Amino acid sequence: MLQGHLDILLIAIVTAVACALPGVFLVLRRMTLMSDAISHAILPGIVVAFFLTESLSSPLLILAAAGTGVLTVLFVELLQRTKLVKEDAAIGLTFPALFSIGVILISRFAGNVHLDMDAVLLGELAYAPLNRLKIFGSDLGPVSLYVMGTIFVLNLVFILLFYKELKLVTFDASLAAALGFVPTVIHYGLMTLVSVTTVGAFDAVGSILVVALIAGPPATAYLMTDRLSRMLIFSAIIGSVNAVTGYWVAFLFDVSIAGSIATMTLIIFVLIFFVVPNRGLIAIARRHARQKWEFAQTMLVIHLLNHEGLPEAETESAIADLHEHLSWDPGFTTQVVKYALNNRCVSREETQLILTEQGRTIAQQALVE
Amino acid sequence: MQGAEQKAIQVTDLTVAYQDKPVLWDIDLDVPPGVLLSIVGPNGAGKTTLIKAILGLVRPAAGNVLIYDKPYEAQRGIVGYVPQRGSVDWDFPTNVLDVVMMGRYGALGWIRRPRKKERELAMQALEKVGMEAYTTRQISQLSGGQQQRVFLARALVQDATVYLMDEPFQGVDATTERAIVTLLQELRADGKTVVVVHHDLQTVTDYFDWVMLLNIRRIASGPVDEIFTSDNLRETYGGRVAFMK
State how far the alpha carbon of A111 is from the alpha carbons of A103, A115, A203, B73, in Å: 13, 9, 21, 58
pLDDT of residue A306: 87
Amino acid at A265: T
Mutation for testing the A interface, residue in B89, B95, B140 having most A CBs under 10 Å:
B89
Query: What distance in Å separates the CA atoms of residue A208 and residue B183, rounded to the nearest whole number?
Result: 54
Q: How far is B87 from chain A (nearest CA, A)?
A: 8
pLDDT of residue A151: 93
Mutation for testing the A interface, residue in B92, B140, B141 having most A CBs under 10 Å:
B92
Greater confidence, B77 or B4?
B77
Contacts of B113 in chain A (CB under 8 A): 163-164
Strands (E), chain A: 132-135, 138-142, 346-349, 352-355
Q: How far is B23 from chain A (nearest CA, A)?
A: 17
Q: State the CB neighbour count (10 A cutoff) for residue B239.
A: 9
A25: nearest CA in chain B?
A: B92
**How much is the pTM?**
0.83
Any chain A CB within 8 A of the CB of B124? no
Amino acid at A284: I
- Residue B244, pLDDT > 50, answer no
Averaged pLDDT for residues B152-162: 95
Mutation for testing the B interface, residue in A162, A175, A232 having most B CBs under 10 Å:
A175
Nearest by CB to B106, which of A172, A180, A225?
Answer: A180
Q: How confident is the model at residue B151 (pLDDT cuts 50, 70, 90)?
A: very high
Contacts of B108 in chain A (CB under 8 A): 164
| Kind plus residue range of the DSSP H or E element containing A5 | helix A2-28
Any chain B CB within 8 A of the CB of A156? no
Which string of DSSP letters, residue by residue, matches A267-301?
A: HHHHHHHHHSTTTSHHHHHHHHHHHHHHHHHHHHH
Q: What are the 10-residue block averages of pLDDT along chain A, 369 residues in total?
A: 81 94 95 88 84 74 86 90 86 90 82 62 73 78 88 96 96 94 92 89 76 93 92 97 94 89 94 84 82 88 85 80 86 88 86 86 79
Any chain A CB within 8 A of the CB of B20? no
Reported as a single tens digit per residue, the pLDDT across B64-121 is 999 999 999 999 999 999 999 999 999 999 999 999 999 999 999 999 999 999 999 9
Q: What is the ipTM of this complex?
A: 0.91
Query: Is the CB of residue B150 less than 8 Å from the CB of residue B97?
Result: no
Contacts of A164 in chain B (CB under 8 A): 105, 108, 111-114
List Cβ neighbours of A285 (8 Å cut-off, separation of 6 or more).
Answer: none
Query: Is the CB of residue A14 less than 8 Å from the CB of residue A247?
Result: no
CB contact burial B202-222 (16+ within 10 A = b; e otherwise): eebeebbebbbbbbbbbbbbb
Reported as a single tens digit per residue, the pLDDT across B115-139 is 999 999 999 999 999 999 999 999 9
pLDDT of residue A139: 80
Any chain A CB within 8 A of the CB of B55? yes
pLDDT of residue A369: 61
Query: What distance in Å separates the CA atoms of residue A138 and residue A2, rounded to the nearest whole number?
Result: 19
Angle (CA) A253-A258-A260 rounded to 5° is 40
Contacts of B110 in chain A (CB under 8 A): 162, 165, 181
pLDDT of residue A364: 83
pLDDT of residue A132: 80
B74-113 residues touching A, CB cutoff 8 A: 76, 79, 81, 83, 87-89, 92-95, 99, 102, 105-106, 108, 110-113
Nearest by CB to B76, which of A163, A168, A179?
Answer: A179
Query: What distance in Å separates the CA atoms of residue A258 and residue A210, rounded to the nearest whole number?
Result: 9
Which DSSP state fits B57? Answer: S
Q: How far is B239 from chain A (nearest CA, A)?
A: 33
pLDDT of residue A117: 63
Q: Longest C-alpha distance within chain B, in Å?
A: 54
| A239 CB burial (10 A radius; 0-12, 13-18, 19+) | buried
Would the CB atoms of B95 and A227 count as touching at under 8 Å? yes
Amino acid at B121: L
Greater confidence, B196 or A277?
B196
Would the CB atoms of B88 and A180 count as touching at under 8 Å? no
- Residue B2, pLDDT > 80, answer no
Amino acid at B227: I
pLDDT of residue B33: 95
Any chain B CB within 8 A of the CB of A279? no
pLDDT of residue A323: 86
